[in-house]
Amino acid sequence: MYRDNFELYLAIAHLVNLKESLEHNNSKLTEELIKTNQDILALLQEFENINLGDVEKNGFLENLKRTNKEQMEKIREQEKALVQADKMASLGQLIAGIAHEINNPTTYIKSNIELMKRYWKVILPCIDINNNKKAKIVVDDVEEVLNSMYRGTDRIVEIVSGLKYFSRQEKADFKPLSLKDCIDDAYKLVKNELMKNNIDFKSFIELNQHMIFGAKQQIEQVIINLILNSINAIKSIRSKNNLSGLIEIKAYQNDDKDSICLSIEDNGCGIKQEEISMVFNPFFTTNLKDGGTGLGLSIVYGIIEEHGGSINVISEENIFTKFTIIFPLYK
């Protein structure tokens, strides 16, 4: 039992400061946060039992209770973050091993398919397909089987590459870079895909020498992933109507002068309202039948977070989808 009121006040203040410190250190266990909070509650109960003047006691106590309630909410959020971080760390370790085990046999399979294709070109002229209908069927089937097997191995490599993002333990090499250059270079990589699908692409870049601090390859990956996501959304709705596809990308300095806004909008199939909150979850996809892995947007979210930015999405089913990213301005 604390005998001195001032000593009790110092003890409470010390514990509050300790708890705030713990909240900013993810390496501390959640149990420490909970134990600290329990200690504060116990001290508050003891403080209530002290016979102070009503005005002095109630004013201080109400303020401390309000502060404690806010801290409790922060603790709950911190608990969720710690649990999620632990899950992703475990997932990263698991994926690192799986990726290695998958890549090796996939490389062998792909090499053997390439070898079989070369052998097939040698054998093909020896087969009389004009006078043998069954032989023609076999020839057509073999070519299709080999091509589909090759595409399948490419798909495996693509999936593993996406998975390996979650196993990265080192931070990329960050440096000042031009967001405009990232957009231009990303566009060059997706230009053929846009043309092949007859999708209009409009850009409104109101940036000159404005810089962000980050890894160029990762920022380009964000832009590419979002554009490819828009292309798939447009292709999906095009099968139902004959609307022309349009993707618009905008980049400009925000009014606060401290950040840069990047938005990518399309007139594709949109997202159901009940699914918007899940689009950044790993492995969530509505495009499974067409080869979607559910990793593209999750990778985007992770990269944006690492760059100190934020991303949100608004959408209306069968009308549009718009992703908006905020990057801190490098000064």
CATH at 179: 3.30.565.10
Instruction: Give the integer Cα–Cα distance in Å for 41 and 18.
Output: 14
What is the model's pLDDT at position 156? 79
Q: What is the DSSP letter of 208?
A: S
16 falls within a domain: yes
Q: b or e along 196-212 (b: 16 or more beta carbons within 10 Å of the residue's beta carbon)?
A: eeebebeeeeebeebbb
The answer to whether residue 96 is domain-embedded is: no
Give residues with Cβ within 8 angstroms of 107, minimum separation 6.
Answer: none
Average per-residue pLDDT in the chain?
A: 77
Provide the percentage of residues in the chain whose pLDDT is more than 70: 64
50 and 186: one domain?
Answer: no
Instruction: Indicate if the pLDDT at residue 243 is higher than 80.
Output: no
For residues 202-208, give the mean pLDDT. Answer: 86
For the ranges 49-58, 209-218, 228-237, the lowest mean pLDDT is seen at 49-58
How confident is residue 47, by pLDDT bands cut at 50, 70 and 90?
low
Question: Quick check: 132 pLDDT over 70?
Answer: yes
Kindly state whether residues 297 and 195 are assigned to the same domain: yes
Decide which of 232 and 14 is more confident.
232
| Amino acid identity at 154 | D
On whether residue 66 sits in a domain, the answer given is yes
Question: What's the confidence (pLDDT) of residue 58?
Answer: 60
pLDDT exceeds 70 at position 240: no
pLDDT value for 4: 46
* pLDDT, position 52: 54
- As a whole number, mean pLDDT of residues 10-14 equals 49
**Strand-pair category, 175-178 with 211-214:** antiparallel
The answer on pLDDT for 9 being more than 70 is: no
Same domain? For 125 and 194 the reply is no
Per-residue pLDDT band for 321 (boundaries 50, 70, 90) equals: very high
Between CA 26 and CA 85 the distance in angstroms is 9
First to last CA, the chain: 54
Number of domains in the chain: 3
Span 142-171, pLDDT tens digits = 888 888 888 888 777 766 766 665 555 445
Distance between CA atoms of residues 53 and 318, nearest Å: 65
What range defines the domain where residue 144 resides? 102-167
pLDDT at 231 (0 to 100): 92
Lowest-confidence region among 40-44, 55-59, 129-133, 159-163: 55-59
Strand partners, 266: 247, 321
Phi, psi dihedrals of residue 46, rounded to the nearest 5°: -65, -35
Which of 29, 56, 88 is at the close of a domain?
Answer: 88
Q: Is 228 helix (H, G, I), strand (E, B) or coil?
A: helix
**CA atoms within 13 A of residue 137's CA, in its CB half-sphere:** 3
- Give the pLDDT of residue 292: 60
Which pLDDT score, from 0 to 100, does residue 251 have? 94
How far is it, in rounded angstroms, from Cα 273 to Cα 317? 8
pLDDT at residue 87 tops 80:
no
Mean per-residue pLDDT, 287-304: 74
pLDDT of 252? 92
pLDDT of the residue at 43: 64
pLDDT of residue 329: 92
Determine if the pTM surpasses 0.75: no
Task: Work out whether the CA dihedral 273, 279, 283, 288 comes out positive or negative.
Answer: positive
Verify that 298 and 221 share a domain, yes or no: yes
Quick one: pLDDT at residue 295? 74
How is residue 226 written in tokens?
A: 């979002």
User: If you ran DSSP here, which 8-state letter would residue 127 be given?
Assistant: S
In a domain, 94, yes or no: no
